[in-house]
């Protein structure tokens, strides 16, 4: 494991896709500035009935699930001792760093009285009976842990003279010696807050449709986070290898796909079992808006299950890619539905995101993609000789 070599991908930084992404980042930054200058009402359609809008539902609830690639791979490599997957660890960790950091940015944009955010760290303001308080602390702690886990990448890139001048060699030795502590926290903390994202919905009671409401929500959210994390690894590896004409990592991705299929089957079994046990299975075919959303979700989950469960499907790069896209779409829709679409707060409250709200979310996503491209080109993220590019550079 220690002998695994990583090198920067190299290539031009300022390319046409980067300029396109940068335009949307600047557009999102403009609306973020308006939000902080003129308040939430200037850019958002959130209300007392719908206090959680797309910034939470997409940027946080979905975004952190997309950022669970590092968590999912750490669980597989360090807990279940599957070291053969270690070449996939750093790209997955990088996705986690950006997924959680930018989710934190979205929370700061979403907070009404954002200047009081530091109160979260004050013991006398602690709400020990609040699930959201636990989620906030865990996400904050895990984001810190992710950056600490990622620090060896920066240290490897620094010239020896620079590290010696600022005495960073001791810090590097410290990280190497005690990294197991941060890896342990990096497995514990997402397990806690991803399941707690499901627990948050339990307090909604009858406001959440029975098609989504179940006592098994914490477990369902945890399993969905793992499946989405592994799917991000499949998607990222395929996109990078195709975009930069790198050798395929099918030898690792094919057995990983079998793990994804198993988790997905478990998710569907628990979900339909909960519906059957609660006597709500008939709602699946009610023919209304919610049943249609449920059936779309289910189709998006079943398609990758059949693909990845078959040897031909998981062994094909194209089919793996399509399965990952479908699973991520299904997981995203599941979480958006549970937090927004399937919620009825009563009293005639309605919610549809404003254009500025959506543009801020688009800007955050584009910023993540830009930073990802910049990091893999300038830092030792990709492993071995696989990062010798012979094609176009994004």
Considering the domain boundaries, does residue 394 fall inside one?
no
Nearest to 139 by CA among 199, 194, 76: 194
For β-strands 382-383 and 6-7, DSSP reports them as: antiparallel
Give the integer Cα–Cα distance in Å for 282 and 284: 5
Query: What local confidence, expressed as pLDDT, does residue 391 receive?
Result: 45
Residues 63 and 139 sit within 8 Å (Cβ to Cβ): no
Chain centroid, CA 36 distance in Å? 26
Tell me, what DSSP letter sits at residue 223? Answer: H
Question: Residue 198 sits in a domain of what CATH number?
Answer: 1.20.1630.10
Name every residue whose Cβ is closer than 8 Å to that of residue 339 and which is 6 or more positions away in sequence.
52, 56, 57, 61, 201
Considering the domain boundaries, does residue 304 fall inside one?
yes
- pLDDT digits over 208-222, tens only? 999 999 999 999 999
Considering the domain boundaries, does residue 214 fall inside one?
yes
According to DSSP, the residues that pair with 383 across neighbouring strands are 6
Sign of the C-alpha dihedral, residues 142, 143, 148, 154? Answer: positive
Considering the domain boundaries, does residue 1 fall inside one?
no
Rounded to the nearest 10 degrees, the angle between the axes of helix 250-278 and helix 289-309 is: 140
Q: How many domains does the chain have?
A: 1
- HSE, CB side, 13 Å, CA atoms: give it for residue 15: 13
Q: Which domain holds residue 142?
A: 6-387
Considering the domain boundaries, does residue 50 fall inside one?
yes
Phi, psi of 27 (to 5 degrees): -65, -45
Query: What local confidence, expressed as pLDDT, does residue 389 receive?
Result: 47
Query: What local confidence, expressed as pLDDT, does residue 4 receive?
Result: 65
Give the integer Cα–Cα distance in Å for 100 and 144: 9
Residues 68 and 139 sit within 8 Å (Cβ to Cβ): no
Considering the domain boundaries, does residue 218 fall inside one?
yes
Residues 74 and 83 sit within 8 Å (Cβ to Cβ): no
- pLDDT digits over 227-241, tens only? 999 999 999 999 988
Per cent of the chain over pLDDT 70 is 96
Number of helices (H) and strands (E) in the chain: give both, helices first.
14, 2
Strands (DSSP E) contained in the chain are 6-7, 382-383
Considering the domain boundaries, does residue 132 fall inside one?
yes
Sign of the C-alpha dihedral, residues 132, 137, 140, 141? Answer: negative
Nearest to 31 by CA among 368, 355, 352: 355
Mean pLDDT, all residues of the chain: 91
Considering the domain boundaries, does residue 356 fall inside one?
yes
DSSP output for 323-371: HHHHHHHHHHHHHHIIIIITB--STT------HHHHHHHHHHHHHHHHH
Low-confidence ranges of the chain (pLDDT < 50): 1-2, 385-393
Residues in the chain: 394
């Amino acid at each position: 494991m220690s002998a695994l070599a990583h090198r920067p991908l190299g290539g031009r930084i300022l390319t046409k896709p980067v300029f396109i992404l940068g335009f949307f980042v600047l557009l999102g930054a403009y609306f973020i500035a308006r939000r902080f200058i003129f308040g939430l009402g200037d850019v958002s359609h959130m209300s007392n009935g719908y206090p959680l809008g797309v910034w939470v539902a997409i940027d946080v609830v979905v975004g952190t699930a997309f950022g669970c690639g590092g968590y999912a791979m750490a669980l597989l490599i360090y807990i279940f001792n599957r070291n053969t997957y270690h070449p996939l660890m750093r790209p997955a960790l990088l996705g986690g760093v950006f997924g959680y950091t930018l989710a934190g940015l979205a929370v700061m944009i979403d907070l009404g009285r954002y200047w009081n955010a530091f109160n979260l760290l004050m013991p006398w303001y602690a709400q020990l009976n609040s699930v959201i308080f636990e989620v906030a602390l865990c996400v904050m702690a895990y984001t810190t842990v992710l950056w600490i886990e990622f620090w060896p990448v920066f240290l490897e890139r620094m010239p020896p003279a620079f590290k010696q001048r600022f005495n960073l060699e001791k810090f590097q030795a410290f990280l190497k010696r005690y990294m197991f502590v941060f890896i342990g926290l990096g497995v514990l903390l997402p397990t806690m807050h991803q399941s707690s994202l499901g627990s948050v919905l339990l307090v909604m009671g009858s406001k959440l449709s029975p098609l989504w409401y179940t006592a098994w929500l914490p477990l369902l959210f945890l399993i969905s986070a793992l499946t989405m994390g592994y799917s991000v690894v499949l998607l990222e590896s395929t996109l990078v290898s195709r975009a930069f004409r790198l050798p395929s990592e099918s030898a690792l991705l094919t057995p990983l796909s079998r793990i994804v299929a198993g988790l997905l089957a478990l998710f569907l079994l628990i979900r339909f079992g909960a519906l059957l046990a609660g006597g709500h299975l008939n709602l699946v075919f009610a023919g209304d808006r919610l049943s249609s959303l449920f059936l779309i979700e289910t189709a998006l989950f079943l398609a990758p299950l059949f693909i990845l469960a078959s040897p031909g499907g998981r062994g094909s790069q194209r089919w793996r890619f399509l399965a990952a896209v479908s699973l991520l779409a299904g997981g995203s829709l599941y979480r958006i539905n549970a937090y927004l679409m399937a919620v009825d707060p009563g009293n005639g409250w309605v919610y549809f995101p404003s254009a500025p709200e959506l543009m801020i979310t688009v800007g955050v996503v584009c910023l993540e993609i830009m930073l990802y491209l910049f990091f893999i080109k300038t830092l030792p993220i990709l492993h071995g000789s696989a990062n010798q590019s012979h094609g176009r550079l994004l």
